[in-house]
Structure 1
Amino acid sequence: MNSLTKDSQKAAARVGLTSDTIVIHGGKPLRGRIEVRGAKNLVTKAMVASLLADTPSILKGVPEISDVHVVSGLLKAHGVEITTLEPGVLKLDPSNVVSAHFAEIDAHAGSSRIPILFCGPLLHQLGEAFIPDLGGCRIGDRPIDFHLNALRAFGATVDKKHEGIHLTAPQKLKGALIELPFPSVGATEQVLLTAVRAEGTTELKNAAIEPEIMDLIAILQKMGAIISVEPNRVIVIEGVETLRGYQHTAIFDRNEVASWAAAALATKGDITVGGARQQEMMTFLNVFRKVGGEFEVLEDGIRFWHPGTPLKPVMIETDVHPGFMTDWQQPLIVALTQAEGESVVHETVYENRFGFTEALNEMGADIVVHQSGLASITRRVPRRPLEQAAVIQGPTPLTGASVRVPDLRGGFSHLIAGLAATGTSTISNVGIISRGYELFIDKLETLGADFELV
């Protein structure tokens, strides 16, 4: 059994999934209404932010996903008391924060990259922090150096050891002038979580400005932080001595909304996603309409459906906000296999995000991945190192196959493909999907999918 399967089974167990394999009988449109709660990319960071306070915090809209359980375990290992006040509402009390042994951190972290964001808060509270297993896939290819360089700029000492990285703050951390080489969401979060209690002023240039970042800033401001978001991706943070707990309802999960919208399009279905809001989804909605999908903005959500007319090919370039999110392209590519003509997706944010297309090709898709990307006179996003491009020819009928989930977003794309395909698909390693998709098995049942867990 390899580590990916172990991680998948652990993730499944955390949220009560009884099996790591699902058999889907495809070709049936998904119809109905499901609800989304708080974004994985905000909730887990908001939980970490509670470490910075001297009084308890209350976070609402918390989804039942395995990454929340991972962060809960890490916080508890550091002495944070966590109480579920009602479904989706957590109270986080940091009154007795302590150092955790690296074995505890390693045991709870699994393949999560969350431990690196504990560094700033723990350096303020305890004067030290630890990141496990730097050499393996825990951080993967994502730029950990962005994080470490930022922490060094605040005055932290970084000591690489066999079992991971040990960070210490010999003196109080001080504000710094930091410019990111790329507007990394994780590195921006790192700077925010560290700068709010550093001595003096921090100026962060080339910051990420995703809605989840803005929601984290709102949380920190509620706690007593002083943060100014200025033009041209500049964020200025004036450090304060202490912070108090917050009460906050998390922003909805944009990635989950886009995924269910793509599922409606690929299966020729009709799905209403409760909790979705138009403003944060505008870039996606434009592309969804260009492809030929229809949507209706409701007071309490967004309805997505396939109108029954042929889908149209598109050219997509992923980019940092307000561009088209990298996490949106994977589920949408499944729908693009049914568009009439050639679609091109330029992935400019992360490398190696097209591995999931191999399974789609086995199911009948015609997708060619260009490992070095493609130049085009119509490109708006500048070409970047390590970018790739996928060329999708359609429409191509999909047929059932045996598929193994490789990662979170690619895994949900495989689910969509199985639902859209003719015949039966067996999809294993689905526990990985529970990292970011709340109760997705229950939601599939609500939408009328024909499947069983085995």
Structure 2
Amino acid sequence: MGKVLTIHGGVPLKGTVNVRGAKNLVPKAMVAALLGDSPSVLRNVPEIRDVEIVTSLLQIHGVTVEKDPETGDLTLDPRGATRAPSKEIDTHAGDSRIPILFCGPLIHSIGEAFIPDLGGCRIGDRPIDFHLNVLRAFGAVVDKRVEGIAISAPHGLKGAKLELPFPSVGATEQVLLSAVRAEGITELKNAAVEPEIMDLIAILQKMGAIIQVQTDRVIRIEGVPTLTSYNHMAVPDRNEAASWASAALVTEGDIFVAGARQPDLTAFLNIYRKIGGAFDVHDDGIRFYHTGKPLKPLVLETDVHPGFMTDWQQPLVVALTQAAGVSIVHETVYENRFGFTEALIRMGATIQLHRECLGSVPCRFGQRNFLHSAVITGPAPLVGRDIDIPDLRGGFSHLIAALAAEGTSNVTGIELIDRGYERFLDKLQGLGASVEISERG
């Protein structure tokens, strides 16, 4: 059983959508509440699947999570934190990779942690080795078992000097959540510095942490024995904002994204303008719209912040299928992020994938047999097809391709989109999309 979304294409999306707290921040902020000695309050929380998963994981670990029925704000009380049965952790984790970030806070609060086999979107290797190596560097003992990984620290976590081989967001989060209450000083080189990372640092500082973000991706943390609580409004979701911006471009529409912030989208806005899209920045959001003129091809490379984010790439590729000429996209963050293009090709797009680095600088995936560069030729008329969604951002890309296509598309696997897009079906309908949902037998 599952849901089928039927999309009748050819209707420009017009209207307003509201984006709330970032998927890449809110679940981690919820985990951070475990580090405190009193209840924390998190505001601007979206209704997405990842929030439900973390709520369940916190609750089975004894954390009280209360949701304000009017505002949606969460109050998280960690004072009853305790060990959870491994089977329950496995059940509530689902396909999320969030459990790995529980390790440091759980070790600090109850002395041990357990994580099951981890899931997540199928867009690349995304190994947890970074995380386990970080925890070992802090003095944790990692015990790999059949049912998962047990982690403990008989002598407590100690500060460490660390350098990441790649500015991994997840590994940087692991260091922050582990180091703030570790004994001594931690120095992390080659850290990720995304806006969501900076917002997590702001949360931890509110709780009493001492964290310095230095030049050249160096973060220095002085451990403290205890932390208090936080009251924080989560940074808006720049990835969702960029997705709706691409939807306006692909469907030749006009969408005001309430909550979108220009400083968090600088690299995206530059590319959006180069491809021929238009935008107007307001205090409370950004209007994105198609000018009516042909879109322009371009050469694009994804990169860690402050570069062009990998999560922005997939929706924008759909827009590039409608640009007049040849575009090149070089993916340098996740090695398998072009799997979603198979459905676009079936819809009529002209896309060729290559193993070579078709960018200005060879990346770490070069000569490693990964199809990580794409050549896109347009404009290519798209036609409706039956589609099964492979991952979160790719899935949203399929939706906007179907919305622009001639004819009808039937889309399955839409539950994946619930992980990161709040009420996306309501938002589509509010923008005038011709869609209906049914149950698959």
Global fold match (TM > 0.5) = yes
1:39-438 mapped onto 2 (5 Å cutoff): 39-85=22-68, 86-133=70-117, 141-370=125-354, 372-376=355-359, 379=360, 381-385=361-365, 388-438=372-422
Residues 224-243 of structure 1: CA deviation (Å, up to 9, x unaligned): 00000000000000000100
Q: Does the C-alpha gap of structure 1 residues 262 and 137 become closer, same or farther in structure 2, counting only changes over 3 Å?
A: closer
Q: Does the C-alpha gap of structure 1 residues 106 and 139 become closer, same or farther in structure 2, counting only changes over 3 Å?
A: farther
> CA contact under 8 A between 2:97 and 2:120: conserved in structure 1?
no
Q: Per the alignment, in what secondary structure is the counterpart of residue 142 of structure 2?
A: strand
Query: How far 1:141 sits from its partner (Å)?
Result: 1.5
> CA contact under 8 A between 1:112 and 1:138: conserved in structure 2?
no
Query: How far 1:127 sits from its partner (Å)?
Result: 1.1
Query: How far 1:88 sits from its partner (Å)?
Result: 2.6
Work out the CA distance in 2 between the residues paired with 1:291 and 1:138. 28
Work out the CA distance in 1 between the residues paired with 2:119 and 2:428. 37
Work out the CA distance in 2 between the residues paired with 1:330 and 1:76. 34
Query: How far 1:87 sits from its partner (Å)?
Result: 3.0
Task: Establish whether residue 447 from structure 1 lines up as the match of residue 431 from structure 2.
Answer: yes
Work out the CA distance in 2 between the residues paired with 1:364 and 1:251. 37
> CA contact under 8 A between 2:392 and 2:416: conserved in structure 1?
yes
Equivalent residue letter for 2:189: K
Q: Does the C-alpha gap of structure 1 residues 137 and 354 become closer, same or farther in structure 2, counting only changes over 3 Å?
A: closer
> CA contact under 8 A between 2:123 and 2:335: conserved in structure 1?
no
Greater alpha carbon shift after TM alignment, 141-150 vs 382-391:
382-391
Q: Does the C-alpha gap of structure 1 residues 281 and 164 become closer, same or farther in structure 2, counting only changes over 3 Å?
A: same
Work out the CA distance in 1 between the residues paired with 2:121 and 2:169. 19
Work out the CA distance in 2 between the residues paired with 1:22 and 1:258. 22
> CA contact under 8 A between 1:54 and 1:245: conserved in structure 2?
yes
Work out the CA distance in 2 between the residues paired with 1:314 and 1:166. 48
Residue identity (%): 67
Q: What is the CA RMSD across the aligned residues, in angstroms? A: 1.5
User: How many pairs are equivalent?
Assistant: 433
Q: Per the alignment, in what secondary structure is the counterpart of residue 377 of structure 2?
A: strand
Equivalent residue letter for 1:48: V
Work out the CA distance in 2 between the residues paired with 1:79 and 1:431. 28
Work out the CA distance in 1 between the residues paired with 2:279 and 2:244. 12
The normalised TM-score by structure 1 is 0.93
Query: How far 1:53 sits from its partner (Å)?
Result: 0.3
Equivalent residue letter for 2:327: S
> CA contact under 8 A between 2:123 and 2:391: conserved in structure 1?
no
Q: Per the alignment, in what secondary structure is the counterpart of residue 40 of structure 1?
A: coil
**Partner residue, 1:29:** 12
Query: How far 1:374 sits from its partner (Å)?
Result: 2.8
Work out the CA distance in 1 between the residues paired with 2:49 and 2:305. 26
The normalised TM-score by structure 2 is 0.96
> CA contact under 8 A between 1:24 and 1:425: conserved in structure 2?
yes
Q: Per the alignment, in what secondary structure is the counterpart of residue 144 of structure 2?
A: strand
Q: Per the alignment, in what secondary structure is the counterpart of residue 41 of structure 1?
A: coil
Q: Per the alignment, in what secondary structure is the counterpart of residue 166 of structure 1?
A: strand
Work out the CA distance in 1 between the residues paired with 2:216 and 2:119. 35
